[in-house]
Amino acid sequence: MSSKPQKERTDGSGSIAVRRLPNRTQRTSDIDREAVFDVLSNARRRYAIELLNRHEPGDEIDLSDLVEYVAARENDTTVANVDYKQR
């Protein structure tokens, strides 16, 4: 039986709650390797994980901040220099 990764849901406020998986010695049984490779195969997903990983569990991140961060990474610039079209 293969488990699908659960998507983090927002409460409608435009924020994403940061959660970390508990430390386990055997994660391969919890998360299907194929699902992990599928998630990591997309650059935008990797950028999102990169930003979320910089925050503490329980922190909330505005969706607009995530969008700007991903746009900055995709365009090889800083968040401050991201323009409307790059978002």
- What pLDDT was estimated at residue 23? 62
- What pLDDT was estimated at residue 24? 54
pLDDT along the chain (87 residues), means of 10: 44 68 58 85 94 91 94 95 89
- What pLDDT was estimated at residue 13? 67
CB neighbours of 39 closer than 8 A, spacing ≥ 6?
5, 45, 49
Is the whole-model pTM more than 0.85?
no
Break the chain into its structural domains and give their ranges. 27-86
Which regions of 20-72 does DSSP assign to beta strands (E)? 60-62
